[in-house]
C-alpha cells in the first residue's frame, strides 16, 4: 500500500514536471516567434565582409562597378555588361553603399576604351573599391526552346582595393552562378522576353549584391517561381 502511494506520488510529480517542460517549450516557441515578428529573420553576413574583414558599408567608403561580357553576349542581349553594371550600382546604393553612378563609369569607359585593369577606373574616380564583374555565360531562354524563359548567368566577381597613390590590388574573388526561376521556366505566352529580362536583371543584381550587403534567409524565395 505504502509502495503504491509512493509510485503514485512519483507518477504525479513526473507528470507535473513534464507539463512544466511542455509549457516552457510552448512559451519558448512563442517567444521565438514573437522575436521573428519584431526583428525579422537573422541576417546573413556578406561574403566579402567575412572573407576580407572589411565592409563596403563602412564610413567614407566609395565603390565603382565595372562589368565586362564577351562581344557575342553584348550583341545578343543588348549590351548586357552596361545593364548589369547599372542594376548592381543601384542595388548597392539601395543598401547604404556609396556607389558611383553608372553613367560616370560608362563615360570613363567610353573615353578609355583600351583600359587594361579595373584599378585604372578606381584611380580616375577616386574610389575605395572597384567591383569587377566578368560575365562568361548569359541566357534568357531554355536551351533549344524560344518559348520558355529562364535566366542563367555564370561569371567571376572580383574586388580591387585602391590606395591613395592610385594603385590597387585584388583582395576578393569568387565564381558565381545564378538561375531564375529555379523550379520551372516561364512561358512567353505569359510574359514578354523584355519584361522577363528586366525582372531577371533585378534578381541577378540582388544576388551579386548579397556578397556585399546583408540579406536574410528566405530572400531567395522569389527565385523559385
Find out whether 52 and 131 touch, Cβ atoms under 8 Å: no
Tally the C-alpha atoms within 13 A of residue 86's C-alpha that lie toward its C-beta.
10
Cell numbers standing for residue 31: 517567444
DSSP-H helix ranges across 154-209? 193-209
pTM, two decimal places:
0.80
Give the strand pairing for 63-68 and 129-142: parallel
Say what the pLDDT of residue 75 is: 73
CA angle 182, 185, 191 (to 5 degrees): 125
Name the percent of the chain in helix, strand, coil, to the closest 5.
45, 25, 30
pLDDT digits (tens, 9 = 90+) for 38-48: 555 678 999 99
Say what the pLDDT of residue 49 is: 98
Residue appearing with cell numbers 560608362: 106
pLDDT digits (tens, 9 = 90+) for 130-170: 999 999 999 999 988 999 999 999 999 999 999 999 999 99
Mean residue pLDDT of the chain comes to 85
32 CB-near residues (< 8 Å, 6+ apart): none
Q: Does residue 217 register a pLDDT over 90? A: no
Find out whether 63 and 131 touch, Cβ atoms under 8 Å: yes
CA angle 187, 209, 58 (to 5 degrees): 165
Q: Does residue 13 register a pLDDT over 90? A: no
pLDDT digits (tens, 9 = 90+) for 74-117: 777 878 999 999 999 999 999 999 999 999 999 999 999 899 99
DSSP 223: G
Residue 170 bridge partners (DSSP): 160
Q: How far apart are CA 97 and CA 61, in angstroms?
A: 8
Classify domain 44-224 at the CATH superfamily level.
ABC-type transport auxiliary lipoprotein component (3.40.50.10610)
Domain ranges of the chain: 1-40, 44-224
Amino acid at each position: 500500500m505504502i509502495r503504491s502511494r509512493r509510485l503514485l506520488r512519483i507518477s504525479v510529480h513526473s507528470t507535473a514536471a513534464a507539463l512544466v517542460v511542455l509549457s516552457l517549450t510552448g512559451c519558448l516557441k512563442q517567444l521565438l516567434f514573437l522575436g521573428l515578428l519584431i526583428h525579422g529573420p537573422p541576417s546573413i553576413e556578406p561574403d566579402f565582409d567575412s572573407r576580407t574583414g572589411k565592409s563596403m558599408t563602412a564610413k567614407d567608403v566609395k565603390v565603382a562597378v565595372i562589368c565586362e561580357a564577351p562581344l557575342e553576349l553584348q550583341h545578343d542581349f543588348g549590351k548586357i555588361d552596361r545593364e548589369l553594371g547599372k542594376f548592381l550600382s543601384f542595388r548597392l546604393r539601395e543598401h547604404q553603399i556609396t556607389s558611383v553612378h553608372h553613367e560616370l563609369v560608362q563615360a570613363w569607359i567610353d573615353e578609355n576604351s583600351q583600359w587594361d585593369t579595373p584599378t585604372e577606373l578606381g584611380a580616375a574616380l577616386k574610389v575605395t573599391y572597384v567591383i569587377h564583374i566578368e560575365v562568361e555565360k548569359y541566357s534568357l531562354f531554355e536551351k533549344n526552346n524560344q518559348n520558355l524563359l529562364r535566366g542563367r548567368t555564370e561569371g567571376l566577381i572580383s574586388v580591387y582595393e585602391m590606395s591613395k597613390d592610385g594603385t590597387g590590388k585584388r583582395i576578393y574573388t569568387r565564381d558565381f552562378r545564378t538561375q531564375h526561376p529555379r523550379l520551372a521556366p516561364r512561358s512567353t505566352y505569359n510574359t514578354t522576353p523584355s519584361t522577363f529580362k528586366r525582372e531577371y536583371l533585378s534578381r541577378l543584381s540582388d544576388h551579386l549584391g548579397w556578397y556585399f550587403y546583408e540579406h536574410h534567409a528566405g530572400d531567395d524565395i522569389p527565385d523559385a517561381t
